[in-house]
Structure 1
Amino acid sequence: MTQPPTLRAPPRSALKLVPITRLAQGGRWRTEAMRSYRAPLLLWFTRGQGRITVAGTTRGYGAHNAIYIPAGLMHGFEISSQVFGTAVFFDDTTATSLPDEPLHLRIRHAPAQAEVTGLIDALQRELDHDRPARDAALHHQAGLLSVWLLRQTQWAAEDNPPPPDTRSRAAQRLVKRYTALVEGQLYTGQSVGDYAELLGVTATHLSRCCNVTCNRSASDLLQDRLTYEARRLLLETRLPVRQVAEVLGFRSAAYFTRAFQRRTGQTPTLFRSSRCDRPLV
């Protein structure tokens, strides 16, 4: 099987705050396409609404929703010009105190809304000014944000006991396992049938469950994730198109080019040349 491309080791994750509107600059695919990040991510929406898919399950989000996504978890979300908020990419040191599972919290109480907004504003002030002990301040401010997240999670669990185990819940569990497998074996060239076999189900059943949880087929989720990874490699590396095709498991560069153009409207070469100055985040 083809192995991932040999690249320089990525730098340690640094704490970063990005306005949600900026995440979508350069095309809707920058937020909507399935992807994962090396760093844990907190999305704090202050205005607007849309849909977000995390680990293969789609839910609606709105103002004052806090969505936490662990590192390496497949996700994507739609936004419009009316959606505002902040994406907090945590650093490696804070990651150890964050949850292992994704969270979707609807923060209804004004004091809790003000608290998280204040914590994010404090982080932004530290990032904007090169003051003494800046790294220590960022570390502790991020720690307070992780504490806020933990408290809100515990309070939400007390107010909302888990729903009974249903077919929908079973489908969510299966699709979550599927998306985790895709993330872990993205460069192996596996098909939906291969993943279904690893999960002990048929490809038809897997796709049916994906349709239940996110209204998409298993194949569409896989191809969407592969296309985002192809975009990332085209933008962040100097790998030739043929090698990008090879490491992602496509039979040939020509087949990869056709598949990429079918989903994006551009050839890989044109995509790379037209966006070479636009980082993904």
Structure 2
Amino acid sequence: MSDTVPDLRMTPIAQLMQGGRWRVESMRSYTRHQLLWFTRGQGRLTVAGITRGFGVHNAAFIPAGTMHAFEITAAVYGTALFFADDPALALPDAPHHLRIRESAAQVELTALLETLQRELDGDRPARARALRQYLGLLSVWLERQLLVNDDQLAPTDAARRLAAGYAALVERDFHTPLSVSDYAAALGVTPTHLTRVCHQTCGRTASELLAERKIGEARRLLADTKLPVKDIAVQLGYRSPAYFTRVFQARTGRAPLTFRKSG
């Protein structure tokens, strides 16, 4: 068996806001799967076009490449686990949000996460194998909880399925000049119907979801790279740097370069 340590990272949920609240509140996706375990506080999650409130002892699994954002306060505590895809773990393909009511299941997940953190922090013999085994137990825990807990993100009706389909297309193509009308045509619905459904499932219009995803990526590129503003505008499908600057300032209250300097 390989001695390579599994590719994973754990962090307190509050630390996800380092560098600005936009880090969690902007629509975004990660290249890694993530599991969020909330142990205190409450807020709202928007995942794949569906918004739901979360509270204490809620778990959210968000697959890599899934558009999402969440609203939290300083009173929210918990753990975020990011890990690479591993077929052996048999993780879900879709996002899930579970309210864990049984105390035994709450204790079990907390203990697994604490044990994973200890293994990550230490350098004990057979560390890589231990981490793989604990991740396997984590995937079993998630599979069992999906059988007994209500899933707040499951696309159980036509509206949710349409919103999830739109969110997936936006995540795939937000860097292009495609408009809401283009996405609606690809989904076989009218722009008006798509907007109505998005507002129903997440409280945002279709155009707002698209704009939030573009601006979220713009913020990331401005904060984390040295790409010129004109290149960011082109990369995100805006028709000109001037138009990008106007849109960015209208949505954030700051010009792109001002935002970059403030970070």
Tell me if both proteins adopt one fold, taking TM over 0.5 as the criterion: yes
SS at match of 1:99: coil
Give distance in 2, aligned partners of 1:155 and 1:272: 46
1:238 and 2:231 correspond: no
Instruction: Identify the match of residue 216 of structure 1 among 197, 204, 208.
Output: 204
Match of 1:91?
84
TM-aligned CA deviation for residue 164 of structure 1? 11
Whether the aligned pair in 1 keeps the contact of 2:17 and 2:23 (CA below 8 Å) is: yes
Cα distance change of structure 1 residues 274 and 14 upon mapping to structure 2, 3 Å threshold: farther
1:49-91 Cα offsets, whole Å, 9 max, x none, are: 1111111111111100111111111111110121110111112
Q: Which residue among 78, 88, 92 is the counterpart of 2:71?
A: 78
How far off its partner does 1:25 sit?
Answer: 2.6
1:47 corresponds in structure 2 to 40
Aligned mates of 1:93, 1:164 — CA distance in 2 = 25
Equivalent-residue separation in structure 1 for 2:252 and 2:149 (angstroms): 40
Provide the rounded CA distance (Å) in 2 between the counterparts of 1:253 and 1:95. Answer: 45
Q: 1:28 aligns with which of 21, 38, 54?
A: 21
After superposition, the C-alpha distances for 1:188-215 in whole angstroms (9 at most, x for unaligned) are 2111111111111111110000111011
Q: Which residue of 2 aligns with 1:188?
A: 176
**How many percent of aligned residue pairs carry the same amino acid?**
59
Please list the CA deviations of residues 213-257 of structure 1 after superposition, one character each: whole Å capped at 9, or x if unmatched: 011100111000001111122233332110100011111111111
Instruction: Identify the range of structure 1 (135-144 vs 103-112) with the bigger mean alpha-carbon deviation.
Output: 135-144
Q: 1:30: how far off?
A: 1.3
Quote the Cα distance in structure 2 between the aligned partners of 1:258 and 1:151.
49
Question: Which amino acid counterpart does residue 124 of structure 2 have in structure 1?
Answer: R
Name the residue aligned to 1:5. none
The correspondence of residues 250-269 of structure 1 with structure 2, limited to 5 A, is 250-269=238-257
- Cα shift at 1:19: 0.5
Asked whether the equivalents of residues 45 and 54 of structure 2 are also in contact (C-alpha less than 8 Å), the reply is: yes
Across the aligned residues of Structure 1 and Structure 2, the Cα RMSD in angstroms comes to 2.0
Structure-2 residue corresponding to 1:153: 146
1:113-138 CA-to-partner distances (Å, cap 9, x unmatched) read 00000000001101111333322222
Counterpart contact for 1:186–1:248, Cα < 8 Å? yes
1:101-250 aligned at under 5 Å gives the runs 101-156=94-149, 169-250=157-238
> What SS is found at the alignment partner of 2:46?
strand
Q: Confirm or deny: 8 A CA contact 1:93 1:139 kept in the other structure.
A: no
Superposition misfits of 4+ residues, deviation over 3 angstroms = none
Q: Distance in 1 between matches of 2:181 and 2:234?
A: 20
Change beyond 3 A, Cα 1:178–1:95 = farther
Per-residue CA deviations over 1:152-174 (Å, capped at 9, x if unaligned) read 112237xx9xx996xxx211110
Name the CA distance, whole Å, in 1 between partners of 2:261 and 2:22.
17
TM-score by length of 1: 0.86
Distance 2:224 2:19 in 1: 15
CA distance in 2, matches of 1:274, 1:133: 45
Kept in 2, the 8 Å contact 1:94–1:143? The answer is no
Shift of 1:140: 1.9
Residue in structure 2 matched with residue 3 of structure 1 by the alignment: none
CA contact (8 A) 2:155 2:161 kept: no
* Paired residue type of 1:154: L
The answer for the alignment partner of 2:12 in structure 1 is 19
TM-score norm. by structure 2 comes to 0.92
Q: Which runs of 5+ in 2 are unaligned?
A: 1-5
